[in-house]
Amino acid sequence: MKTLTLEPTDALRRLRHFFVMTKPRVNSLIVFCAMIGMFLAVPTGLPSAAVVFAATLGIACVAGAAAAINCLIEQQIDARMARTRARPLPRGELGASETLAFSALLGGSGLWMLYALVNPLTMWLTFATFVGYAVVYTVFLKPRTPQNIVIGGASGAMPPVLGWAAVTGEVSADALLLFLIIFAWTPPHFWALALYRTADYARAGLPMLPVTHGSKYTRLSVLLYTFILLAVTLLPFATRMSGLIYLTAALVLGGIFLRYAWRLYVDYSDKLSQQTFRYSIIYLSSLFAALLVDHYLRF
């Protein structure tokens, strides 16, 4: 009787498929923001290396599991969109049952790590974030309302709060400021993407803002939310959470973002929309890095 064996190249290919399901680029930004929260939570010195390692790995695992569930639920939608049709599920490279098993194993391992090696609060907050993204946003908000990314952005804004809770065992006002920054950043970031992918979202039947309200309305929304974002990013300085290094970075980075948003509003092109989307990622990473630099140079 013959037994089925996987060649090394086949095994590596399948591992790569599972890795892709975790949306590693998105996950890396999540982990980065969570780590910044960990370091900012310590008034002086450094957080425990063991806690940082366990929390980072646990949060990454749960975020990857949430991404895999998102891919599982949206596999039919992904198959109709040029941006996502090459994912493993639409291509038939992975099945639903093994994706579900992978997500359960990955997410369960991450939650166990957070509970056993970090603290229960971080585990429960991370679990709530998982439910918020994989269930509330993916199942209920995304297919039903053009404000899906605004409401669902609460889940995406949680990473620095998770990092803060991992180190301190609590959620402070400063942690909520970090949450607010990402919450305000999410709409202009995502709508910049949606603008040059409008046909994709329309084909998939998703009520994204450019599909339901048109390009000009969405571009105005991007501009207005960018103004809100700039105002929100000044709060850490206003509350004395940060100093002049961060303030300077926030004003410069925010000014560049506003310039992109203004140009997008008055002279739209798909290329400019792509550039705005890419800059928004650089913007958030740089802003949080500036918070970290300011934190350690002030003490």
CATH number of the domain where residue 38 is located = 1.10.357.140
Q: Do 143 and 254 have their domain in common?
A: no
For the beta carbon of residue 22, count every other beta carbon within 10 angstroms. 21
Could you report the per-residue pLDDT of 49-72, keeping only the tens digit for each? 999 999 999 999 999 999 999 999
Could you report the per-residue pLDDT of 229-264, keeping only the tens digit for each? 999 999 999 999 999 999 999 999 999 999 999 999
Q: Do 140 and 178 have their domain in common?
A: no
Residue 42 lies in a domain: yes
Residue 214 lies in a domain: yes
Q: Do 165 and 176 have their domain in common?
A: no
- 110, two tokens: 């991450």
First-residue to last-residue Cα distance in the chain: 69
Of 145, 171, 197, the one marking the end of a domain is: 171
Could you report the per-residue pLDDT of 185-211, keeping only the tens digit for each? 999 999 999 999 999 999 999 999 999
pLDDT at 299 over 80: no
Q: What are the DSSP calls for the chain, one per residue?
A: -------HHHHHHHHHHHHHHT-HHHHHHHHHHHHHHHHHTSSSS---HHHHHHHHHHHHHHHHHHHHHHHHHTHHHHHT-TTTTTSTTTTTSS-HHHHHHHHHHHHHHHHHHIIIII-HHHHHHHHHHHHIIIIIIIIIITTT-TTHHHHHHHHHT-HHHHHHHHHHSS--HHHHHHHHHHHHHHHHHHHHHHHHTHHHHHHHT---HHHHH-HHHHHHHHHHHHHHHHHHHTHHHHTTSS-HHHHHHHHHHHHHHHHHHHHHHHS--HHHHHHHHHHHHHHHHHHHHHHHHHHHHH-
Q: What is the pLDDT of residue 1?
A: 43
Could you report the per-residue pLDDT of 81-125, keeping only the tens digit for each? 988 999 999 999 999 999 999 999 999 999 999 999 999 999 999
Q: What is the pLDDT of residue 5?
A: 53
Q: Do 105 and 128 have their domain in common?
A: yes
Q: Do 17 and 90 have their domain in common?
A: yes
The pLDDT-based confidence of 7 (bands split at 50, 70, 90) is low
Residue 166 lies in a domain: yes
Of 171, 199, 216, the one marking the end of a domain is: 171
pLDDT at 266 over 50: yes
CATH number of the domain where residue 243 is located = 1.20.120
pLDDT at 4 over 80: no
How much is the average pLDDT of 122-129? 98
The pLDDT-based confidence of 8 (bands split at 50, 70, 90) is low
Could you report the per-residue pLDDT of 134-167, keeping only the tens digit for each? 999 999 999 999 999 999 999 999 999 999 999 9
Residue 289 lies in a domain: yes
The pLDDT-based confidence of 11 (bands split at 50, 70, 90) is confident
What is the C-alpha to C-alpha distance for residues 228 and 70, in angstroms, rounded to an integer? 29
- 54, two tokens: 């366990």
Q: Do 103 and 227 have their domain in common?
A: no
The pLDDT-based confidence of 2 (bands split at 50, 70, 90) is very low
Q: Do 20 and 162 have their domain in common?
A: yes
Q: Do 270 and 135 have their domain in common?
A: no
Could you report the per-residue pLDDT of 272-288, keeping only the tens digit for each? 999 999 999 999 999 99
pLDDT at 6 over 90: no
pLDDT at 127 over 90: yes
For the chain, give the mean pLDDT: 95
Q: Do 48 and 178 have their domain in common?
A: no
